[in-house]
């Protein structure tokens, strides 16, 4: 070494001791190995660090963009008898077994492996959650988009009544809340079973949900079960333990795989026999070994049976996470402790498995994984389908926990042959079923079979009518809407297109300044006279109790009205009826126009030969029925005009828009009924008058009547059965079936249910279910009809004149429209069709002879 330092070159090598050289070689090799191992460790650590950040980012991306959260709800009672009796253990097992079938199907999914799956994580996990927030308990499923269809199909197969709705992710946290969480793992290996619903006396879900039932609105909690497919290694492990126990090992020995004597798999001489040094067929040693083999206790045999049963069913890897959010730390701790205690019912302590909590060192990590629904690998266990169904299943009809989010009523899909936009006339709504939205239209020829709408107040009848009527108006069709409230008419007016403004006739009795004329006794066709008179008699029967009418009233009124109709060019009106019996000159003037011998005979052979006393009695009897309308100025100025302000036949043939606002608050109940009855009768007369034109030239006219029972007589059966031929298509709505029965007369009810083609049923009362359930069974029960959601309809419609299966229907709310345009239409209509109040009053006064020089008839005397 020194020679090199002084630049000298040695002539011979310097000898190095052998011990020094050997020591250097021995030291160098371990250092190289340590350096290599350190490098590998560093690379592995770096790889795990990169994997951590990559997985963390992937979890956030999958939770935000690639997963969907589905709210699952069931009807509280699926059958009527469910609400009337409790459940036996067999019924609970049968019902919860649906969830086991569901998890068995998911257990068939393929478990993903490989470097890419290890590095980036998988997307096959499914989150099943029971969550309390906002004082309600919800059941959620969160799944990757690629698995959504499969999960929904399998869940629907297990729970046909379940309603699956994609929702925004829930939030149980508040800015000021205290949040705690924990995992649940198994005390023994996952191959050992827990107690399942088949061995529990009651539904285990009750203990889980009861913890959440009384949480305040400001607090929340969640049971989260993350599930993903697993391999078959756990099943092999279970069967290995079973084999070891069959060879006489205790459970502890079977788990380890060695007996107390230290040999694997059996007695101490097992390795000798395996080596072949001792013959296994020794007839003297085998019986002795069998006698020495340990016998299993009954509990151990039961444990072995449990292992076999668990391994016989589909298994899944599961991560159980519990999170509680409370207003204070104490409340959050209490809630979490109660949640943990709810799992004690599943424990099999000695020869099975039990749950133990595993509180992580980092609460932040737990909450992040909870939000992203990410697996915690160190807290993963294996459960089979039966065990999973015991932990998470949908509530049964007998679940007594309050505040569960139940489905108001069942839903059903629209049949495949419902008309769509390509072959339908108007869109009546859409069917939403299991996330699939199907627009539903109705054809013209099916609308000619009429439509019937029934539902409680506030169920959406007016909105449904306005939705269809507005479509008809915008399509240029003829429409009449009769409504007793006014709001529906206002909405339709605001949506009339500008090009149809001139087609609108707005009839509003409360417009006192410009009343429109409505004369029931105006009949252009001789053949319509008897029909008009009969309808007017039916109207009086509708307005007054039958005992106040009677055959004598009908007889006198019929002849009086026929007399007033004897001059088609200058007809009388209802307000003229009292004068017909009190003014001789007025009566004689009309009698001179009578051409019908039967009517003339009435005046000559009956009235003229009746004593003054009986005439006086009859006068009071008749006038008491008509007087209430004649004495009211608003009604007198409408029904007292000799001419109708518009031609009903022209309205139908020219496809005009007649909007009748019979607001009872402004018009009065009886007055509104009389006017509505007259208008509907006039439209019926106009429809029947279409017999004079070829059928192909008759254009469909759509008559919408809200609270229709107030505006129809017994002739509704004629409209429903015959007016279809003349293209008068009815859409009638009301609240409950009892409105169709008056004085035990069921003619109207029978006419409606016997003739209408398409029925819309919203939420109804229990009295109506007896009738309607027969229409919608077996798809829907009375419970469904009572508990349906707002703006949700059960529809039994006809397609091509054939009934199809009932289904649920929702509809889009019609737009608010242009209120200023609505007011302009009203003003235009009243100027075109209304008449000045002073002129109308003067004409009626002139015809009634009030204020003339002629002396009035003395009281108690008549001028018959």
> Strand 380-384 vs strand 798-799: parallel, antiparallel, or unpaired?
unpaired
Residue that has been written with the tokens 């007025």 in this structure: 586
**CB neighbours of residue 27 within 10 Å:** 10
Higher-confidence residue of 667 and 427: namely: 427
Q: Which of 573, 604, 624 is the last residue of a domain?
A: 624
pLDDT category at 7 given cuts 50, 70, 90 is very low
What is the C-alpha to C-alpha distance for residues 527 and 534, in angstroms, rounded to an integer? 12
**Both tokens assigned to 554:** 């009908």
Position 304 pLDDT exceeds 50: yes
Higher-confidence residue of 10 and 677: namely: 677
Task: Examine the domain organization and report whether 381 and 525 are in the same domain.
Answer: no
Q: What pLDDT is attached to residue 284?
A: 46
Residue that has been written with the tokens 């007793």 in this structure: 484
Position 310 pLDDT exceeds 80: yes
What is the C-alpha to C-alpha distance for residues 193 and 313, in angstroms, rounded to an integer? 11
Mean pLDDT of the 469-485 span:
95
Residue 527 within a domain: yes
- Count CA atoms closer than 13 A to 288's CA, side-chain side: 8
pLDDT category at 2 given cuts 50, 70, 90 is very low
pTM: 0.76
Closest alpha carbon to 562 in 548, 576, 541: 576
pLDDT category at 95 given cuts 50, 70, 90 is very high
Q: In residues, how long is the chain?
A: 864
> Strand 728-734 vs strand 451-454: parallel, antiparallel, or unpaired?
parallel
Q: Measured between alpha carbons, how far is residue 586 from residues 591, 620, 834 in Å?
A: 9, 18, 28
Higher-confidence residue of 298 and 461: namely: 461
**CB neighbours of residue 96 within 10 Å:** 22
Q: What pLDDT is attached to residue 482?
A: 95
Residue that has been written with the tokens 């790889």 in this structure: 47
What is the C-alpha to C-alpha distance for residues 708 and 731, in angstroms, rounded to an integer? 9
Q: Which of 341, 361, 391 is the last residue of a domain?
A: 391
Write out pLDDT tens, residues 708-744: 988 888 777 777 887 778 899 999 999 999 999 887 8
What is the C-alpha to C-alpha distance for residues 146 and 66, in angstroms, rounded to an integer? 8
Burial code (b: 16+ CB inside 10 Å, e: under 16) for 419-435 equals: beeeebbbbbbebbbbe
Residue 18 within a domain: no
Q: Residue 381 is part of a domain; what is its CATH number?
A: 3.40.462
Closest alpha carbon to 750 in 714, 725, 784, 782: 714
Task: Examine the domain organization and report whether 226 and 369 are in the same domain.
Answer: yes
Write out pLDDT tens, residues 380-416: 999 999 999 999 999 998 888 889 999 888 888 999 9
What is the C-alpha to C-alpha distance for residues 861 and 612, in angstroms, rounded to an integer? 7
**CB neighbours of residue 565 within 10 Å:** 26
Handedness of CA 412, 417, 421, 423 (dihedral sign): negative
Cis check for the bond before 723: say yes or no (omega within 30 of 0): no
Q: Quote the mean pLDDT of the chain.
A: 84
pLDDT category at 768 given cuts 50, 70, 90 is very high
Residue 678 within a domain: no
Task: Examine the domain organization and report whether 384 and 527 are in the same domain.
Answer: no
Write out pLDDT tens, residues 791-812: 899 999 999 989 999 999 998 8
3-state secondary structure of 410: coil
Task: Examine the domain organization and report whether 523 and 374 are in the same domain.
Answer: no
pLDDT category at 37 given cuts 50, 70, 90 is confident
**Both tokens assigned to 275:** 């080596």
3-state secondary structure of 230: coil
* CB burial of residue 641 (10 Å; 0-12, 13-18, 19+): buried
Residue that has been written with the tokens 């039990």 in this structure: 354
Q: How large is the C-alpha radius of gyration of the chain?
A: 43
Beta strands in 21-177 (DSSP E): 67-73, 126-133, 136-144, 163-167
What is the C-alpha to C-alpha distance for residues 799 and 330, in angstroms, rounded to an integer? 62
Backbone angles phi, psi at 225, to 5 degrees: -115, 110
DSSP 379: G
pLDDT category at 620 given cuts 50, 70, 90 is confident
**Both tokens assigned to 660:** 């009748």
Residue 789 within a domain: no
Residue that has been written with the tokens 């709705």 in this structure: 165
3-state secondary structure of 440: strand
3-state secondary structure of 517: coil
DSSP letters of 323-380? EEEESSHHHHHHHHHHHHHGGGGG--TTTS--EEEE--S-HHHHHHHHHHT---GGGE
Residue that has been written with the tokens 């009124």 in this structure: 557
**Both tokens assigned to 172:** 């149980």
pLDDT category at 470 given cuts 50, 70, 90 is very high
Position 10 pLDDT exceeds 70: no
Q: Measured between alpha carbons, how far is residue 202 from residues 64, 93, 96, 236 in Å?
A: 38, 9, 11, 32
Are 846 and 839 spatial neighbours (Cβ–Cβ below 8 Å)? Answer: no
Are 443 and 425 spatial neighbours (Cβ–Cβ below 8 Å)? Answer: yes
What is the C-alpha to C-alpha distance for residues 169 and 321, in angstroms, rounded to an integer? 17
Q: Which residues are CB-contacts of 318 (< 8 A; sequence separation ≥ 6)?
A: 225, 226, 227, 380, 381, 382, 383, 388
In the chain, the number of structural domains is: 2
Are 520 and 572 spatial neighbours (Cβ–Cβ below 8 Å)? Answer: no
- Count CA atoms closer than 13 A to 339's CA, side-chain side: 29
As a whole-number percent, the residues of the chain with pLDDT over 70 amount to 85
**CB neighbours of residue 58 within 10 Å:** 19
Residues forming a β-bridge with 72: 164
What is the C-alpha to C-alpha distance for residues 504 and 502, in angstroms, rounded to an integer? 6
Residue 187 within a domain: yes
pLDDT category at 100 given cuts 50, 70, 90 is very high
Q: What pLDDT is attached to residue 410?
A: 85
Position 130 pLDDT exceeds 80: yes
- Count CA atoms closer than 13 A to 855's CA, side-chain side: 4
Are 443 and 797 spatial neighbours (Cβ–Cβ below 8 Å)? Answer: no
Domain extent for 221 = 58-230+310-391
3-state secondary structure of 50: helix
Q: Which of 351, 370, 391 is the last residue of a domain?
A: 391
Closest alpha carbon to 442 in 465, 472, 419, 470: 419
3-state secondary structure of 287: helix
Residue 357 within a domain: yes
Residue 180 within a domain: yes
Write out pLDDT tens, residues 54-64: 656 655 556 56
Count H helices, E strands: the chain?
Answer: 33, 22
Residue 248 within a domain: no
Residue that has been written with the tokens 């701790």 in this structure: 333
């Amino acid at each position: 070494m020194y020679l090199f330092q002084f630049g000298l070159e040695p002539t011979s090598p310097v000898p190095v001791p052998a011990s020094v050289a050997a020591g250097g070689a021995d030291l160098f090799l371990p250092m190289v190995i340590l350096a290599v191992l350190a490098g590998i460790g560093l690379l592995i650590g770096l790889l795990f660090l990169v994997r951590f950040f990559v997985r963390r980012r992937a979890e956030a991306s999958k939770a935000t963009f690639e997963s969907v959260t589905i709210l699952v709800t069931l009807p509280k009672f699926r059958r009527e008898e469910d609400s009337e009796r409790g459940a036996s253990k067999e019924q609970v097992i049968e019902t919860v077994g649906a969830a086991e079938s569901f998890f068995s199907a998911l257990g068939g999914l393929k478990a993903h492996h490989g470097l890419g799956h290890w590095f980036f994580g998988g997307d096959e996990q499914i989150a099943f959650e029971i969550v309390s927030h906002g004082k309600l308990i919800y059941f959620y499923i969160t799944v990757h988009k690629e698995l959504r269809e499969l999960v929904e199909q399998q869940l629907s197969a297990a729970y046909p009544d379940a309603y699956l709705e994609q929702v925004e992710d829930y939030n149980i946290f508040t800015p000021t809340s205290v949040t705690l969480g924990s995992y649940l793992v198994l005390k023994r290996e996952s191959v050992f079973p827990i107690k399942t619903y088949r061995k529990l006396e009651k539904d285990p879900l009750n203990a889980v949900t009861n913890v959440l039932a009384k949480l305040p609105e400001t607090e929340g909690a969640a049971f989260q079960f993350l599930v993903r497919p697993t391999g078959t290694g756990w099943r092999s492990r279970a069967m290995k333990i079973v084999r070891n126990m069959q060879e006489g090992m205790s459970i502890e020995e079977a788990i380890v795989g060695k007996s107390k004597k230290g040999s694997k798999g059996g007695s101490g001489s097992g390795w000798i026999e395996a080596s072949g040094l001792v013959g296994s067929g020794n007839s003297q040693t085998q019986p002795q070994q069998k006698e020495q083999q340990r016998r299993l206790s009954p509990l151990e045999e039961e444990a072995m049976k449990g292992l076999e049963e668990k391994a016989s069913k589909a298994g899944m890897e599961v991560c159980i996470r519990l999170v509680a959010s409370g207003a204070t730390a104490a409340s959050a701790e209490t809630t979490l402790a109660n949640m943990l205690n709810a799992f004690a019912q599943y424990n099999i302590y000695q020869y099975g498995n039990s749950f133990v909590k595993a509180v992580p060192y980092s609460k932040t990590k737990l909450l992040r994984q909870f939000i992203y629904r990410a697996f915690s690998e160190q807290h993963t266990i294996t459960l089979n389908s039966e065990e999973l169904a015991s932990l998470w299943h949908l509530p049964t009809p007998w679940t007594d926990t309050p505040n569960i989010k139940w489905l108001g009523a069942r839903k059903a899909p629209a049949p495949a042959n419902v008309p769509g936009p390509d072959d339908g006339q108007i869109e009546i709504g859409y069917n939403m079923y299991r996330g699939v939205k199907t627009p539903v239209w109705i054809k013209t020829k099916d609308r000619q079979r009429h439509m019937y709408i029934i539902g409680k107040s506030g169920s959406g009848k007016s909105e449904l009518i306005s939705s269809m009527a507005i479509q008809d108006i915008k399509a240029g069709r003829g429409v009449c809407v009769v409504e007793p409230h006014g709001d529906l008419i206002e909405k339709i007016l605001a949506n009339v297109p500008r090009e149809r403004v001139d087609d609108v006739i707005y009839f509003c009795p409360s417009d006192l300044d410009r009343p429109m004329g409505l004369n029931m006794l105006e009949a252009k066709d001789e053949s319509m006279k008897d029909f008009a008179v009969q309808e007017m008699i039916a109207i009086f029967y509708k307005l007054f109790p039958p005992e106040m009418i009677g055959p004598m009233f009908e007889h006198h009124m019929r002849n009086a009205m026929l007399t007033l109709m004897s001059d088609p060019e200058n007809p009388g009106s209802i307000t003229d009826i009292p004068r017909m019996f009190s003014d001789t000159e007025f009566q004689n003037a009309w009698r001179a126009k009578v051409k019908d011998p039967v009517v003339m005979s009435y005046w000559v052979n009956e009235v003229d030969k009746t004593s003054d006393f009986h005439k006086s009695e009859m006068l009071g009897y008749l006038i008491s029925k008509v007087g209430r309308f004649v004495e009211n100025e608003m009604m007198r100025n409408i029904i007292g005009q000799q001419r109708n302000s518009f031609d009903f036949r022209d309205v139908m043939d020219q496809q005009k828009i007649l909007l009748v606002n019979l607001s009872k608050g402004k018009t009065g109940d009886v007055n509104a009924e009389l006017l509505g009855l007259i208008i509907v009768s006039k439209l019926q007369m106009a429809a029947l008058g279409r017999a004079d034109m070829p059928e192909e030239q008759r254009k469909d006219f759509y008559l919408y009547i809200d609270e229709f029972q107030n505006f129809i007589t017994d002739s509704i059966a004629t409209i429903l059965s015959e007016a279809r031929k003349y293209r008068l298509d009815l859409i009638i709505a009301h609240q409950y079936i009892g409105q169709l029965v008056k004085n035990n007369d069921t003619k109207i009810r029978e006419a409606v249910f016997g003739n209408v083609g398409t029925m819309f049923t919203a939420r109804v009362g229990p009295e109506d279910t007896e009738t309607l359930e027969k229409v919608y069974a077996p798809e829907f029960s009375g419970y469904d009809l009572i508990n349906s959601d707002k703006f949700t309809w059960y529809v039994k419609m006809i397609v091509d004149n054939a009934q199809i299966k009932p289904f649920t229907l929702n509809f889009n709310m019609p737009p608010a429209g242009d209120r200023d345009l609505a007011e302009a239409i009203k003003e235009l209509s009243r100027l075109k069709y209304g008449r000045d109040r002073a002129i109308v009053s003067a004409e009626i006064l002139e015809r009634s002879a009030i204020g003339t020089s002629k002396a009035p008839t003395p009281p108690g005397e008549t001028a018959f």
